[in-house]
Amino acid sequence: MKDQALVQMALYAALVAALGLIPPVPFVTGIPITAQTLGVMLAGVMLGPWRGFLSMLLFAGVVALGAPLLSGGRGGLGVFASPTAGFIIGFPVAALVAGYVARLLQRQSILIAAGVGAFVGGILVLYVFGILGFKLVTGSEWLRSVQVMAVYVPGDTIKVVLTALVAQAVYKGLPGAVATRQA
Amino acid sequence: MMTLYVHRQSWLHRQPAGLKLLVLMATSIALYALTSLWTAGAALIAVILAYRSLGSAGWSYLWVVKPLLPMFILIFVVQTWSQSVSAAVLMLLRMLTLIWLANLVTLTTRMDAMMDAVMPLLAPLRRVGVAPHRIAFTVALFVRFVPVLMAVLNSLLEAWKSRGGGRAVWRLAIPMLINAIRMSDHVAQALAARGGVRSPETPVSMVQPQ
């Protein structure tokens, strides 16, 4: 792997951390949403599947080492024992799938490719991990776990739209920065 | 340096990182074998008492679970409703024990010690062409990028406010990302100009220009 790829992976991992700085906005459902998954979706769409995966693995790994980089200043090993552990563990796979889908759709407009990629990776895949983690940590039933996690879906839908808009705008400004558009 | 580590001289600080990680892993498995409220409660009290070794303010670190409180209440209610009160209490006891114990490892272990403990596990990656020193470089760069990007975001937010602000603050994500990508390109060029990521074993004079 080239040196430039290492720098890019470090950058997107740091982007997810910086997005955690934006104070969580209590959304309609009353559950605060954070901007961090926006960074996960962007990492997949912008870096492509493999680099996106490694970049989010780097983020999750450094959080595990004790860096307080999750929204609200959370971090350390305790995070991986909490009910939302599945989401953090799912970050790398979510970026991988988002990048893969966006690359599959590169003949479509970037708005559609990035949007669908972010939806499949950042919502479908990430929620499988999130719900599985919640179920394992709390021992709840499937249906209960799905119900509890469903409160986050509206906020994440907004982030899918944002990912598509941001990817489109960045593609206009810096076409070379969107790895899923060059085969 | 941004880390949750707390610098103290306690017996927990003196234990090797690898040992603490092993104990944590073993506890996480053992906790699920505990089915009585008494033993699970005793485990929780033992962990709480261990925080005391961080000094007189040790118990204040227990507040780390504060952001999780609404979720705990929700889980408790759902669990009581679908199973029983004792099942809900047992689950909360286990969860708190594990979160606090894991956090205790984080509080008492330096980040570099933690990394040294994990590095041997990454050694097999060398076979697929990933050298450990390149991983270490990427981690260091990531840790350095975080405050830089936070500063970029803050300056964009302030510029946004001084221009009157407004609700469409999400638009800042675009200049933010473009700024960040430009910066990473510069870093990559600077790195290439200096001969790339070097293995610690390679002396400077041996580096071939690319």
In the block, residue with structure tokens 């961090």: A36
Length of chain B: 210
Residue A147, pLDDT score: 80
Q: Tell me whether residues B102 and A72 touch, CB distance under 8 A.
A: no
CA distance, residue B132 to nearest chain A CA (Å): 13
CA distance, residue B96 to nearest chain A CA (Å): 8
Among A1, A8, A9, A11, the residue to mutate for chain B (most B Cβ within 10 A) = A11
Could you report the predicted ipTM of this complex, rounded to two decimals? Answer: 0.89
Residues of A with Cβ-Cβ distance to B178 under 8 angstroms:
170, 173-174, 177
Residue A96, pLDDT score: 97
Residue B69, pLDDT score: 82
81-100 in B: which are within 8 Å (CB) of A?
82, 91, 95, 98-100
Residue A176, pLDDT score: 86
pLDDT one-digit tens code per residue, B48-94: 999 988 888 888 989 888 877 877 887 788 778 878 888 889 888 98
Q: What is the CATH number of the domain that holds A173?
A: 1.10.1760.20
Count of Cβ atoms closer than 10 Å to residue B3 Cβ: 22
Q: Does B27 touch chain A (CB under 8 A)?
A: no
CA distance, residue B1 to nearest chain A CA (Å): 9
Task: Look at residue A109 and give its three-state secondary structure.
Answer: coil
Overall number of domains in chain A: 1
In the block, residue with structure tokens 């009290």: B45
Q: Tell me whether residues B188 and A148 touch, CB distance under 8 A.
A: no
Residue A57, pLDDT score: 95
Residues of B with Cβ-Cβ distance to A144 under 8 angstroms:
78, 82
Task: Look at residue A25 and give its three-state secondary structure.
Answer: strand
CA max distance for chain A: 48
Residue A23, pLDDT score: 64
Q: Does B136 touch chain A (CB under 8 A)?
A: no
For chain A, which residues score pLDDT lower than 50? 28-30
CA A156 to chain centre: 10
What is the number of CB-based contacts under 8 A between chain A and chain B?
Answer: 166
Q: Is the pLDDT of residue B204 over 60?
A: no
Residue A28, pLDDT score: 47
Residue A30, pLDDT score: 45
Residues of B with Cβ-Cβ distance to A83 under 8 angstroms:
68, 71, 75, 95
pLDDT confidence tier of residue B111, bands split at 50, 70 and 90: confident
Q: Is the pLDDT of residue B209 over 60?
A: no
- Alpha carbons within 13 angstroms on the beta-carbon side of residue B191 total 20
Domain that holds residue A84: 3-22+30-180
Q: Tell me whether residues A58 and B183 touch, CB distance under 8 A.
A: no
CA A99 to chain centre: 11
Among A27-36, B17-26, B116-125, where is mean pLDDT lowest?
A27-36
Closest CA to B147 of A20, A57, A162, A60: A20
Among A1, A3, A172, the residue to mutate for chain B (most B Cβ within 10 A) = A3
Q: Is the pLDDT of residue B210 over 70?
A: no
Residue A34, pLDDT score: 76
Structure tokens, A82: 């909490």
